[in-house]
C-alpha cells in the first residue's frame, strides 16, 4: 500500500472508528442472519481438504530433495488455511468456482508459507517453533530454509500462471500483479522491515504508524487473497474493490487479534512461542492502546468488514461472514 493510499484508508478508518462499538467481537445482526443454516465446519473442512490435495500435488519430492522437503515441511504442516479459503470464498461470492480459484488459493498459501519460514529466522523473529513443530530452519538449517522460502515464493507465481484454468489471461495477469504487490515492498516485505525497525519504539507513536505496519506485514496478504479470488471469479471492478476493503479490514483485525493472544495465550495454545512481542518490545496494538482498547478496535473492524458485505448474494456471503467471526473468535 502506498502512503497516498494509506492516507485515504486512514481517513476512512478514522471516520468509521467514531461510530459506537457494539459488544466485543459480535457482528451486526443484519449480516449475522446470513450464517443461519450454514455449516461452517463442514465448509472449512471441505475447502481445506481441496487445498491440501492441490498443494501436495503441486510440490513433489524430487531432486534436490532437501529443498523440496523443506518446502513441503512448512507448506503441509497443518495450519488453519484461512487465506486460501478466503480466496475460494471470494471467488464463489462473485460467481466463480473453486476449480477456478484453487491455483490462486495455493499460490497465496505458498507465499504465506514463505513468510513464515523467513519470519522465524534468527535474523528476523528468531523463533524455534511454528504450528507446534520445530521451525523450518531448526530442521533443515538456515541456508536451506532461506532458499526454500525463496523457492516457494517463485513457485507461487509459476503455479498461478500455469495452473489457472477457465480464466482469461488478462485476469490471470491482474491476479499475478496483485499477489506481487501483497508480498513485496508495499506489502509483507516492507511491513517486516518496518516491524523490525520499530522494535523498542515508544508506545506514543500513535495509530497511524502501528496501523501501517500491521496493514503491510499481515493484512496485505490476506487482502490479496480475497482480491485474487474476486479477480479469478470474474468479479466486476466494483466488486473487487469492495472485497479489497473487506480483506483489508479482516486482515488488520486478524493481526490485532494475534497481538492480543500473544499476550493472553500459552505457547501450547498458539503453536509458537508466546510472549515474543513483549520480549523484543514490538510495536503492537496492546502496547500502544492497551488490551481493552485493542479489543474495541478489533470489534470495530469486525463490524466494518461485515457491513461491507451487505448487498452481496445472501447464501454466498455466509462463508466470508463466518470466516471473519472465526478469526475474531481466537481472542476468546
pLDDT < 70 stretches in the chain: 1-36, 202-204, 269-270, 272, 274-277, 279-280, 330-332
The pLDDT value given to residue 200: 74
19 burial level (CB within 10 Å; 0-12, 13-18, 19+): exposed
pLDDT digits (tens, 9 = 90+) for 268-288: 766 767 666 676 677 889 988
The CATH number of domain 27-331 is 1.10.3720.10: no
The pLDDT value given to residue 22: 38
The pLDDT value given to residue 270: 67
pTM above 0.85, yes or no: yes
C-alpha radius of gyration, the chain, whole number = 19
The pLDDT value given to residue 10: 55
Closest CA to 302 of 14, 17, 11, 8: 17
Query: Are 82 and 98 spatial neighbours (Cβ–Cβ below 8 Å)?
Result: no
The residue ranges of every structural domain in the chain are 27-331
The pLDDT value given to residue 204: 66
The pLDDT value given to residue 13: 54
**DSSP-assigned states of every residue in 252-315:** HHHHHHHHHHHHHS-HHHHTS-TTHHHHTT---HHHHH-HHHHHHHHHHHHHHHHHHTBTB-HH
Alpha helices in the chain (DSSP H): 3-17, 29-32, 40-58, 65-75, 82-93, 98-119, 136-140, 142-163, 169-183, 188-197, 207-214, 220-232, 237-264, 267-270, 276-279, 285-289, 291-308, 314-328
How far apart, in whole angstroms, are the C-alpha atoms of residue 99 and residue 96? 8
97 backbone φψ class: left, alpha, beta (φ>0; ψ -120 to 50): beta
Query: Are 121 and 142 spatial neighbours (Cβ–Cβ below 8 Å)?
Result: yes
The pLDDT value given to residue 4: 43
Q: Fill in the DSSP letter of residue 20.
A: P
Query: Cell numbers 491476479 label which residue?
Result: 175
Query: Are 286 and 260 spatial neighbours (Cβ–Cβ below 8 Å)?
Result: yes
- Structure-block grid coordinates of residue 181: 504487490
The pLDDT value given to residue 196: 84
Amino acid at each position: 500500500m502506498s502512503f497516498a493510499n494509506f492516507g485515504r484508508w486512514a481517513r476512512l478508518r478514522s471516520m468509521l472508528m467514531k461510530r459506537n462499538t457494539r459488544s466485543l467481537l459480535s457482528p451486526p445482526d443484519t449480516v449475522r442472519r446470513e450464517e443461519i443454516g450454514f455449516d461452517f465446519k463442514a465448509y472449512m473442512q471441505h475447502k481445506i481438504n481441496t487445498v491440501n490435495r492441490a498443494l501436495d500435488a503441486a510440490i513433489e519430492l524430487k531432486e534436490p530433495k532437501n529443498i523440496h522437503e523443506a518446502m513441503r515441511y512448512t507448506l503441509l504442516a497443518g495450519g488453519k488455511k484461512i487465506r486460501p479459503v478466503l480466496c475460494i470464498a471470494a471467488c464463489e461470492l462473485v460467481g466463480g468456482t473453486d476449480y477456478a480459484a484453487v491455483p490462486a488459493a495455493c499460490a497465496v498459501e505458498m507465499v504465506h508459507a514463505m513468510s513464515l519460514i523467513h519470519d522465524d529466522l534468527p535474523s528476523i523473529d528468531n523463533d524455534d517453533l511454528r504450528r507446534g513443530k520445530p521451525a523450518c530452519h531448526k530442521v533443515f538449517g538456515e541456508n536451506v530454509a532461506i532458499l526454500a522460502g525463496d523457492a516457494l515464493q517463485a513457485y507461487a507465481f509459476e503455479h498461478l500462471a500455469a495452473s489457472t484454468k477457465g480464466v482469461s489471461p488478462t485476469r490471470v495477469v491482474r491476479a499475478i500483479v496483485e499477489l506481487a504487490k501483497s508480498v513485496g515492498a508495499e506489502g509483507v516485505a516492507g511491513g517486516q522491515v518496518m516491524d523490525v525497525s520499530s522494535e523498542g519504539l515508544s508506545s506514543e507513536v500513535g495509530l497511524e504508524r502501528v496501523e501501517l505496519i500491521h496493514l503491510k506485514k499481515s493484512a496485505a496478504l490476506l487482502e490479496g487473497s480475497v482480491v485474487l479470488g474476486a479477480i479469478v471469479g470474474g468479479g466486476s471492478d466494483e466488486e473487487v474493490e469492495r472485497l479489497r476493503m473487506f480483506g483489508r479490514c479482516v486482515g488488520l483485525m486478524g493481526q490485532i487479534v494475534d497481538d492480543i493472544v500473544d499476550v493472553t495465550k500459552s505457547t501450547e495454545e498458539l503453536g509458537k512461542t508466546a510472549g515474543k512481542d513483549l520480549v523484543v518490545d514490538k510495536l503492537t496494538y496492546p502496547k500502544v492502546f492497551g488490551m481493552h482498547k485493542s479489543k474495541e478496535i478489533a470489534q470495530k473492524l469486525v463490524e466494518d468488514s461485515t457491513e461491507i458485505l451487505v448487498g452481496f448474494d445472501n447464501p454466498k456471503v455466509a462463508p466470508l461472514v463466518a470466516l471473519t467471526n472465526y478469526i475474531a473468535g481466537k481472542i476468546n
